[in-house]
Amino acid sequence: MTTEPARDALAEALREALTEATTLLDPVVDGVRRLSSGASRETWSFTVTADGTATDMIMQRSRTADSPTALHGPTEAALVEAAGAAGTPVATVVAAGTGADPLERPWVITERRAGEAIPRKLLRDDRFAAVRPGLTAQFAGALASIHTVDPDALPDLPTVDQLRFWERLWADLDDPHPVFDFAIGWLHDHGPPEGRRAVVHGDFRTGNLLVDEERGLTAVLDWELAHVGDPVEDLGWLCVRAWRFGSRLPAGGFGTRAELLAAYRAAGGDDVSPDRLHWWEVFGTLRWGIICRLQTSGHLLGLHPSIELATIGRRVAETEYDLLLLLAPVALHDVDPVDELRLAPPEERGVHDRPAAPELLDAVATFLDTDVRPVVDDPRVSYLLRVAANAVGIAQRETALAPLLDARHHARLDALGVGSDSELSARIAEGSLDPDAIVAALAEATLDKLYVANPNYPE
pLDDT confidence of residue 40 = 64
The residue with greater pLDDT, 67 or 314, is 314
Q: Choose the final residue of a domain: 86, 112, 138.
A: 112
pLDDT given at position 39: 55
Write the pLDDT tens digit of every residue in 69-122.
567 889 999 999 999 999 999 999 999 998 888 898 889 999 999 999 999 999
- Residue 324 domain flag: yes
Kindly report, residue by residue over 24-58, the tens digit of the pLDDT. Answer: 989 999 999 988 655 568 899 999 999 889 999 99
250 upstream amide cis, omega within 30 of 0: no
Q: By residue range, what is the domain housing residue 372?
A: 316-453
Q: What is the CATH number of the domain that holds 32?
A: 3.30.200.20
d(CA 40, CA 192): 27
CA 326 to the chain's CA centroid: 18
- Does residue 82 fall inside a structural domain? yes
Question: Residue 148: its pLDDT value, please?
Answer: 98
Residue type, 210: L
Q: Tell me the average pLDDT of the chain.
A: 90
CA dist., res. 311 & res. 299, Å (int): 9
Q: Is residue 178 part of a domain?
A: no
C-alpha 307/C-alpha 186 separation (Å) is 34
Distance, CA of 158 to CA of 120 (rounded, Å) = 33
For residue 204, which of 147, 165, 278 has the smallest C-alpha distance?
A: 147
Task: Kindly give the residue spans of alpha helices, DSSP state H, lying in 316-378.
Answer: 316-327, 329-333, 357-366
Supply φ then ψ for residue 34, to 5 degrees.
Answer: -75, 130
Residue 200 pLDDT greater than 90, yes or no: yes
What is the pLDDT confidence band of residue 192, given thresholds at 50, 70 and 90?
confident
User: What pLDDT does 452 receive?
Assistant: 92
Whether residue 441 lies inside any domain: the answer is yes
Q: What is the average pLDDT across 286-292? A: 96
Please give the pLDDT value at position 105.
87
In the chain, how many domains are there?
A: 2
Contact of 283 with 324, CB cutoff 8 Å = no
Q: Which residues pair with 199 in a beta bridge?
A: 228
d(CA 284, CA 281): 5
Out of 97, 112, 127, pick the residue that ends a domain: 112
Q: Quote the pLDDT of residue 380.
A: 80
Residue 153 forms part of a structural domain: no
Q: Is 70 exceeded by the pLDDT of residue 349?
A: no
Instruction: Quick: pLDDT tens for 66-78.
Output: 665 567 889 999 9
Query: Given pLDDT bands bounded at 50, 70 and 90, which one contains residue 3?
Result: low
Q: What is the pLDDT of residues 363-398, one digit of tens each?
A: 898 898 888 988 888 888 888 899 999 999 999 999
* Residue 369 DSSP class: I
Domain C-terminal end among 112, 129, 155: 112
Residue 203 has pLDDT above 90, yes or no: yes
What pLDDT is recorded for position 339? 57
Is 159 domain-assigned?
no
* pLDDT for res 298: 84
pLDDT of residue 328: 94
Q: b/e for 235-249, b at 16 or more Cβ within 10 A?
A: bbbbbbbbbbbebeb
| pLDDT tens digits for range 208-258 | 999 999 999 999 999 999 999 999 999 999 999 999 999 999 999 999 999
Question: For 125-164, how does the pLDDT look when each residue is reduced to its tens digit (9 = 90+)?
Answer: 999 999 999 999 999 999 999 999 999 999 999 998 999 9
Give the pLDDT confidence score for residue 1 in this predicted structure: 52
Residue 249 lies in a domain: no
Instruction: Determine if the peptide bond prior to 355 is cis (ω within 30°).
Output: yes
d(CA 377, CA 33): 13
Cα–Cα distance, 182 to 184 (Å, whole number): 6
pLDDT of residue 342: 60
Percentage of the chain lying above the pLDDT 70 cut? 93
Q: What is the DSSP string of 192-230?
A: PPP---EEE-S--STTSEEEETTTEEEEE---TT-EEE-
Residue 161 inside a domain? The answer is no
Top-confidence residue, 203 or 366: 203
Integer angstrom CA distances of residue 120 from 11, 113, 117: 31, 19, 9
Q: Is 15 helix (H, G, I), strand (E, B) or coil?
A: helix
Q: What is the pLDDT of residue 317?
A: 96
